[in-house]
Each structure stands twice: as structure tokens, then as C-alpha cells.
């Protein structure tokens, strides 16, 4: 089975022009920024990418652009199936598979739109798998929209039996559930990537493959360091910083991420199809700058502790 690398998989944001078109030049710049910061992979089309507000052509072109930018040494996965019917989802996923990405990621709630239970989910998943290319690795993403469908032990065991899955973007945010899942997945070849910054170190020490969450759009190099150094004497302090900063998820994301990237010299506009630009205010801007000072101090301290880590 194909194995994807451990590490950090930022959830790609979609930049737009002033005319509300996808800005592919900035897609390239953002992907290059992730790579420069040491990320081992990129989750190129997901909810952070505003996938429910993108056409299929846009989703496909974003994934293709990210993979072409990343090249062969950085793993790129993509989701982007937003259809209601299994047939429509299969069409979307087969189109995504043609982009050259290293894996396609199924959205858990798409397989049980009415939350009818595991039996319905597995039946729909089997039907979907029979209609998509069998030679590309698969993942599952517990996307919160339109509702969060958490993966049960029955579903995880089914995934193991198919021998087709390699990636889980976990959004359970539960230490106990993370522990149960990682114990169940041990030795299966399926890697769990925690989307929750606050429980990241805990999950890494239990065997998680890494991090795949929105905060890698702010300071990916710190997540890269922690994923490589979960047993470092400074790991607990780094986790404390990440836990505090992760509460900014309550601010108007992805506008916050786009503003943070603009501070890195990426000329991205504060445009979004998902979030009203009017929600961007002085308080959000103030918080980003306030936490940026602590972020810089954290990075500098890590450099002093281990100059090879960043």
C-alpha cells in the first residue's frame, strides 16, 4: 500500500482576485510558502478552500496547480466532492484523480447525508468506491459542513479491510476518542492527521501521523517542528502556545489566514465567497498582530534550542 509521509498538511485556502475569480498565481505562491516552511504535504481542496463555493473546474484546477507547484517530493491530497448523489460524487472524485494528486479524500458526511447510521454509510461508501479509480490512495475527512459525521469503530474497521485508505483528517477534538482511534488503527497503514491544535502533542505521542488543520496557514513551521520533536523538552511549551493561538479559529477565518499571509509578502486579497468581508474588523486585526509577537518569540526560542529544527 502507498504510504504518505508523516508531518504537516495545511488546509489550503483559496485566494481570489478583486473580480471574485480564483487567483492561480497566488495559489502557486501559497503552496510554495507551505513548502518553504517545511510542510511535508498539502491538503489542496477542502473546506478551508471554500470547496462548497467553487465550481468543479475550479476545484480541479486548484488541485492541479498545487500539485504542479509542489512537484514529486511534497505529498498533495485533495477532496472537493460536494455532490449529493453517489453518481455525482464519483464523477467529481474521478475528475480530481486526473489532476495528479497523490490521494483523494472522501468527505464523511457525503456518504450519509441524513445521518442514518453506519450501515447506510458503509453501503454508500462501497458503492462509491466501486465507481472511482482503484489505483489512487484514499482518505477520509470529517468535514464539519453541513454536519460533522464522526468515524465510528465500525467504519474504521471497514476502512482497514478495504486496504485502500491511507489518510484520515480527524476533527473529533476528543483526547479519549483520539486514543481509541489510534489504538484501532495501529499497524493498518492508515495515518491519522489531527486537525485540532490543542490536542496535537497528545495525539503525536500516541502515534498520530501529524497535523492537518487551519492553523498551519498562520505558522506552519511551528507545527512542523512539533511534529518532528514530540519528545523534545520544549515540546510542552510549544504546545501551550499553539493551544492559545488556535482559539483564534473563532475569528473570521479564512480572512484571518489571508491577512496573516499578506504579512508574509503574499499579495492575497481579503476576499472570500464563504465569509462576509464585513466580519473583518479592527479586533481581528489586533489579535493577529498581538499573537504574531508571541509567534516570533516562539520560533526564535526553538531556533536557539535546536538550530536544525526550523
Torsion, Cα of 6, 185, 43, 205 (10° steps)? -50
Task: Tell me how far apart the alpha carbons of residues 143 and 169 are, in angstroms, rounded to a whole number.
Answer: 8
3-state secondary structure of 209: coil
Q: Is the peptide bond before 254 cis (omega within 30 degrees of 0)?
A: yes
pLDDT tens-digit profile, the chain (310 residues): 567 999 999 999 999 999 999 999 999 999 999 999 999 999 999 999 999 999 999 999 999 999 999 999 999 999 989 999 999 999 999 999 999 999 999 999 999 999 999 999 999 999 999 999 899 999 999 999 999 999 999 999 999 999 999 999 999 999 999 999 999 999 999 999 999 999 999 999 999 999 999 999 999 999 999 999 999 999 999 999 999 999 999 999 999 999 999 999 999 999 999 999 999 999 999 999 998 988 999 999 888 877 655 5
3-state secondary structure of 219: coil
Query: What is the b/e burial string over 31-46, where b = at least 16 CB atoms within 10 angstroms of the residue's CB?
Result: bebbbebbbbbbbbbb
Could you tell me the pTM of the whole model?
0.96
Strand partners, 139: 105, 167
- The per-residue pLDDT for 163 is 95
Reference 218, options 27, 11, 67; nearest CA is: 11
Handedness of CA 269, 272, 273, 278 (dihedral sign): negative
CB 156 within 8 A of CB 112: no
Rg of the chain over Cα atoms, rounded to whole angstroms, equals 18
Name the H helices within 98-234. Answer: 118-129, 153-162, 175-185, 200-205, 220-228
DSSP 36-52: HTT-SEEE-SSTTTTGG
- What residue has cell string 482518505? 139
Residue 285 neighbours by CB under 8 Å, 6+ apart = 259
DSSP 50-109: TGGGS-HHHHHHHHHHHHHHH-TTSEEEE-----SSHHHHHHHHHHHHTTT-SEEEEEGG
Task: Tell me how far apart the alpha carbons of residues 287 and 273 are, in angstroms, rounded to a whole number.
Answer: 23
- The per-residue pLDDT for 305 is 76
CB 5 within 8 A of CB 75: yes
Task: Tell me how far apart the alpha carbons of residues 265 and 260 are, in angstroms, rounded to a whole number.
Answer: 9
- The per-residue pLDDT for 60 is 98
Classified by CATH at the fold level, domain 7-217 comes out as TIM Barrel (3.20.20)
CB 8 within 8 A of CB 42: no
Amino acid at each position: 500500500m502507498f504510504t504518505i509521509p508523516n508531518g504537516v498538511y495545511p488546509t489550503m485556502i483559496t485566494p481570489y482576485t478583486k473580480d471574485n475569480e480564483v487567483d492561480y498565481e497566488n495559489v502557486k505562491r501559497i503552496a510554495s510558502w507551505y513548502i518553504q516552511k517545511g510542510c511535508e504535504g498539502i491538503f489542496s481542496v477542502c473546506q478551508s478552500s471554500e470547496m462548497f463555493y467553487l465550481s468543479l473546474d475550479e476545484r480541479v484546477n486548484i488541485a492541479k496547480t498545487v500539485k504542479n507547484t509542489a512537484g514529486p517530493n511534497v505529498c498533495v491530497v485533495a477532496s472537493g466532492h460536494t455532490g449529493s448523489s453517489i453518481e455525482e460524487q464519483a464523477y467529481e472524485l474521478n475528475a480530481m484523480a486526473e489532476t495528479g494528486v497523490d490521494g483523494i479524500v472522501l468527505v464523511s458526511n457525503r456518504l450519509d447525508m441524513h445521518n442514518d447510521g453506519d450501515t447506510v454509510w458503509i453501503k454508500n461508501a462501497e458503492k462509491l468506491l466501486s465507481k472511482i479509480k482503484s489505483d489512487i490512495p484514499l482518505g477520509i475527512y470529517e468535514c464539519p459542513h453541513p454536519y460533522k459525521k464522526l468515524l465510528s469503530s465500525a467504519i474504521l474497521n471497514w476502512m482497514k479491510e478495504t486496504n485502500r485508505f491511507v489518510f484520515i483528517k480527524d476533527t473529533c477534538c476528543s483526547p479519549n476518542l483520539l486514543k481509541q482511534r489510534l489504538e484501532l488503527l495501529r499497524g493498518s497503514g492508515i495515518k491519522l492527521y489531527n486537525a485540532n491544535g490543542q490536542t496535537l502533542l497528545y495525539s503525536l505521542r500516541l502515534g498520530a501521523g501529524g497535523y492537518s488543520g487551519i492553523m498551519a496557514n498562520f505558522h506552519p513551521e511551528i507545527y512542523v517542528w512539533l511534529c518532528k520533536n514530540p519528545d523534545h523538552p520544549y515540546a510542552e511549551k510549544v504546545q501551550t502556545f499553539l493551544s492559545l493561538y488556535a482559539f483564534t479559529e473563532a475569528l473570521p477565518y479564512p480572512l484571518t489566514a489571508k491577512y496573516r499571509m499578506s504579512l508574509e509578502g503574499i499579495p492575497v486579497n481579503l476576499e472570500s465567497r464563504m465569509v462576509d468581508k464585513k466580519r473583518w474588523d479592527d479586533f481581528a486585526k489586533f489579535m493577529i498582530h498581538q499573537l504574531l509577537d508571541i509567534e516570533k518569540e516562539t520560533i526564535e526560542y526553538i531556533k536557539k534550542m535546536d538550530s536544525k529544527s526550523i
